[in-house]
A and B are shown apart, each in its own frame.
Chain A
């Protein structure tokens, strides 16, 4: 089933997609990248990560790489994941939504830094 348009993503799914947007990664790579993206605010633990991965694979947002497609020098039997076209579209939709929200907020001066009087 294709994901519906305009559906909002849970933050952790958004961050996993974002982590996969610039390169294919294995699980530990995703964990590290998400931590970096969120300055350590979002820590993914294995069960949460893998149930998210399964959900997103079921939804066709990401896919697992075949043995042959794995990056050069990939170690051991680790599984690598890649974002799909659907996933990319969904990520972009979500990012645009955030951006619109941010614009909206900016237009109302919400983002103006509060200064001490």
Chain B
């Protein structure tokens, strides 16, 4: 019911502004009450009838009030003459418009089929256009829900030599920016929970639960312009290393865990075995929006002060802070960037690590950064629906022409009785506006429902999904589109119909002459429709080919038959080697399950984003530069086997790779090629130069490169160290390979964990294929949407060409009758008609291909291993469209050829 109210509220915008402002609130409650009674009275059908009556009520009064307004614009309100049932005192022109409106309604009511088909077609077009616009508006155009969001920037560090481009900054650099920069009011930083030793396991009231926890600097929320609704911000003192355990919590956690206690400030909760004191609650609906590349940091339920130990930091090319800046008023983006370039140059001159990595600072407007990934796809989609709208307009124009032809006698009569051409055009246009208004109302309804469906589907990689809504701007857009379509589909048919003149009509019964113009116009419409449909079909075809290519990708592991789950061991309970011992024990139990062939663990799974980068060096030069890094993972024995990864040489880790034996490492083929391009990497040794002592490690295995970030591209160099030599890992993902259905193991796995430690939450219990599906979800979604649009375009184009050929064949029935009477064969007639259609379609296809070649370039970023000029796609789609078009023209041709020529000639 709330949906109905917001939809009705939106529809109220068709009424004049002042009338709406005076009465909207009352009208809404009145509407809701009436709806309530109708639904109670006769259920779903009653609601549908009531909706249709309510929409009609609004449309009629929108027109009527506007008309009566324009009659006496200057007369003060309060002196309107009493409306009477008899004639009104309206001036003639407006009297005419009011009459046109009445006529339009009457005319439409008299042809319910035509009205329904036209309204539904145009409603469909406006509906999906509005739906996509609401997404474009909500995601791309709407400013971020922060204070003065256009002044917010995200700081990227480009480590050019390391090929690392991430919005991640070293803490020491973060401090230097604050000191050296003048362009910014402030910089604020946040990071993941790992660097401050947190995992986010809440204990205490109820079962242990895992929450997202994010450490931020004290000025982080003030920088965004977000104030706690209860309590306060963090203070600078609370940021001190090993400072107080305080937390600001989300509105959701405040509701779920603290039952919205107004006195929550000062209350404590247990997380990771520590007691945290609540100091503030964030406003409802606050979300931390960041680009996909954001490193470790994420939206959280628990926010803690970023207590970084600035006294002991790794080399400067280790980056894990997400840094946001707020530009000073009057400073442009370019000025700020120029200043950061100078600062980066200074840092490079001072610190060898930066000199070696070729560090550059890049500022990105936060809004652009967040939506940049979704932007091209959304704009492509928007272009696609614009085409669908064009096609629907073309089809409605067909319908109106048909109707115009049927009404030629009426029009001829009216003009014979003295109606001017202008008044005839005006009346027909009024009809298109009424149709467009009803279509618009239907479209808004469809878009509202569509938006609900969309939000329920949770389209992947679409940022700001929760913010989507049918806003005033969206309604205004829908109204604009409706008005535009009314002109698009109404103008030419109106002019054509108005051209009817009495003499020729009476002379030849409306069979020849003038109608030729209409036929040409229709051919143009159909040609355009086919060209536009081809563009959409080409788009669809390219997506299909790309998706097929995507499914053939070998990511370097086999996701089938693998169950994964994650565990976070609280620091308080698992010190020293305890976490390693726990992992061993758990894997031992799981391996004993029937069907399980391997079980292992790793700090971060593939396809879950970039992970920690470790510096390494394989010779004196790289040691001196200190500029090489690789994706580093800490794995337990059995991981590679469970994931079905393949060795290029050497061996996997075993239970013998423990503390006390020679430190070993497994690298991927990419790192092997870089360090030892000519020889076998197995047996070679190199240096891990991370914090603490440089460690010499020996390569025992070379792995076929697994794709860690996404399926479509190779990742960086990778190195894997054994947990046995690193004392285990508190946060890890376990991987279990089984012969059966992985998810069937879920309960057994959970119990195995709880038998060892009943306080551990088992998270992310899902098959590895789910991660692969996630990675495929975005292209799959785009594929589904494009296929939908392409299919719709194909159907509409087929309907269009069928209508045109039927119509023109009908016009020529007389001619065909004579021809056949004179001995022409039915096959000859069919050939002639279909041949004519084939020529039209052929020309349209060539035009469509030409435009598609240009437009499809905008899709290049969405395609994988398919060229935007892929010949197979173009040829295939052209053939499909050609075939459908010919079939659509064959039917009416066949029908004509089958009729007895005598019947045709007898009609006169």
Contacts and interface: CB of A to CB of B under 8 A. Distances in A.
Interface of A: 1, 3-4, 7-11, 13, 26-28, 31, 43, 45-51, 54-55, 58-59, 61, 76-79
B42 to A, nearest CB: 12
Contacts of B62: 47
**Most chain B beta-carbon contacts within 10 A, residue among A3, A47, A54:** A47
Contacts of A8: 84-86
Contact of B64 (A51, A77, A78, A79): A51
Q: Enumerate the 4 nearest inter-chain pairs by beta-carbon distance, A residue then B residue, closest first.
A: A45-B57, A47-B61, A46-B27, A50-B23
B109 to A, nearest CB: 17
Nearest to B28: A46
A79 B78 CA distance: 19
B82 A46 contact: no
A48 B26 CA distance: 13
B83 A50 contact: no
**Most chain B beta-carbon contacts within 10 A, residue among A3, A8, A28, A45:** A45
Interface in B12-71: 15, 19, 22-23, 25-31, 33-34, 53-54, 56-58, 60-62, 64-65
Nearest to A46: B27
Interface of B: 15, 19, 22-23, 25-31, 33-34, 53-54, 56-58, 60-62, 64-65, 77-86
Nearest to B84: A7
B68 to A, nearest CB: 9
A24 B104 CA distance: 38
Given A1-B81, A9-B85, A51 B53 contact: no
6 contacts: A7-B84, A10-B85, A43-B53, A47-B61, A51-B61, A77-B25
B200 to A, nearest CB: 45
Contact of B19 (A4, A11, A50): A50
Contact of B34 (A7, A11, A45, A59): A45
Contacts of B34: 28, 31, 45-46
Nearest to B80: A58
Nearest to A57: B78
Given A7-B84, A77-B25, 14 more contacts: A8-B85, A9-B84, A13-B83, A27-B29, A28-B34, A43-B53, A45-B56, A46-B26, A46-B30, A47-B57, A48-B57, A50-B23, A55-B83, A58-B80
**Most chain B beta-carbon contacts within 10 A, residue among A27, A61, A76:** A27
**Most chain A beta-carbon contacts within 10 A, residue among B31, B58, B86:** B31
Given A9-B85, A31-B34, A59 B53 contact: no
Contacts of A11: 85
A80 B86 CA distance: 29
A51 B20 CA distance: 10
Contacts of A77: 25
B79 to A, nearest CB: 6
Given A47-B60, A51-B65, A58-B77, A31 B30 contact: yes
Contact of B82 (A26, A28, A50, A55): A55
B87 to A, nearest CB: 12
A55 B62 CA distance: 15
B24 to A, nearest CB: 9
Contact of A50 (B27, B78, B86): B27
A54 B84 contact: no
A28 B27 contact: no
